[in-house]
Amino acid sequence: MSVVVDFFLAPDDPAAARALDGGPGPGQASFSCGNLDPEEAVLDWQAFLTGEAWDALVEADEPRVVAEQDDGGPWVFAVSGRLAGALATAGPRRLRETATAWAERAAGRGRGVGEEAAAEILGSVAALARAAGQGGGLYCRVG
């Protein structure tokens, strides 16, 4: 089963929740990809970039759900401010190291995110995080 994942910018949670049906709107900064578990991905990225423990992030209910459908359909979550800040300030070398570590961890879980795809995804999400620093937040729609 293929899942579409949209990372996007929105000014606040209510605006992000509007992406639940149909995804980010026209002109809304976004990046789309697929065939990855975005919840695991952002937890991995945050653990690698900030040094926070993966289990502690899960216990803190990260990532925070903004909107979801009752039938198990699409859902939207907020990327934490800590992760968005770490992505926005990470240089190319740090992003590449994180992408490599993420690809290795994903492979260990049986998820096929190759290193080059991981680097492309992480670089694109980091670019959104840098843009989010100018107002608003970074969100993800899964569905």
* Per-residue model confidence as pLDDT tens digits over 98-126: 999 999 999 888 877 899 999 999 999 99
Phi-psi region of 35 (alpha: psi -120 to 50; beta: other; left: phi over 0): left
Domain range for 118: 4-22+30-142
Residue 143 in tokens:
């569905």
DSSP 8-class letter at 61: T
Torsion of CA 111, 114, 96, 55, to 10 degrees: 0
Q: Who has greater pLDDT, 111 or 26? A: 26
Q: What's the pLDDT band for 72 if we cut at 50, 70, 90?
A: confident
For residue 60, pLDDT beyond 70: yes
Least confident range from 15-19, 44-48, 96-100, 132-136: namely: 132-136
Q: How confident is the model at residue 136 (pLDDT cuts 50, 70, 90)?
A: confident
Q: Is residue 61's pLDDT more than 60? A: yes
pLDDT grade, residue 2 (50/70/90)? low
Non-local (6+) Cβ contacts of 64 within 8 A are 77, 78, 80
Q: How many domains does the chain have?
A: 1
Q: Which residues contact 108 (CB under 8 A, 6 or more apart)?
A: none
State pTM to two decimals. Answer: 0.94
